[in-house]
Amino acid sequence: MSELSRRILQRRLELGLSQEELAQRMGYRSKSSITKLEKGVNDIPQSKVEEFAAALETTPAWLMGLENTAFVPSGFEPLPEMVRVPLVGSIACGSPITAEQNIECYIGVPAAWHADFALTCHGSSMAPTICDGDIVCIRCQPEVEQGEIAAVRIGDEATLKHFHRQGDTVMLLADNAAVCPPMIYAGPQLNEIQIEGRAVGFCRGL
């Protein structure tokens, strides 16, 4: 077993992750790939070291056994402190957004974002700022500033839009108006919407 394989196993156990969970974080179809890597049966390509470090919430240097940062290979940079937040899928009407039945899995995101949960963006209404398939991290808060991107629940659906309030009227604006025209709510319609939080960061290509 190589030092890299040993440290992947060590760090996975420290985080309390199963092989299935690590495989999911890495985008592998099954745990067999993780099993072979931890046993040293398969080598880990250099290009995958950074991905494993992010999935295991550590640095490439630590995974490679380079205790002295002076020996970190050129191009490697320490990763920020990471935390795990729930990735929410479909939202059941009337249930809290992070209710167990809504959670698809947990993902690692920078702790500095102070995110409470994450959503996968569907569609291109917020492109090019947020594209289809991007994972958007949300900080729970009942109010947002004018123009901020908010996660807004409308019935049993969640949408990401720029939030604007003028008196008793709320407007949800997309970046791509050709795809989604302004959504306007006033009077009793305001009871249909609920701010879940503010977008504090996003991950592309996960």
Reading phi first (left if > 0) and then psi (alpha if -120 to 50, else beta), residue 9 is in: alpha
State the catalytic residue, choosing from 31, 48, 90, 161.
161
- Give me 166's structure tokens: 């003028």
Q: What angle do CA 116, 119, 121 make, to 5 degrees?
A: 150
- Between the CA atoms of 80, 85, 89 and 91, what dihedral angle is there, to the nearest 10 degrees? -140
User: Is 39 in the active site?
Assistant: no
Cα Rg for the chain, rounded, in angstroms?
A: 20
Q: What angle do CA 108, 74, 50 make, to 5 degrees?
A: 20
Helix (H) or strand (E) holding 3: helix 3-15
State the catalytic residue, choosing from 30, 33, 36, 125.
125
Polymer length of the chain: 206
**Inter-residue contact 138 to 203 (CB < 8 Å):** no
Q: What angle do CA 115, 13, 136 make, to 5 degrees?
A: 20
* Active-site residue list: 125, 161
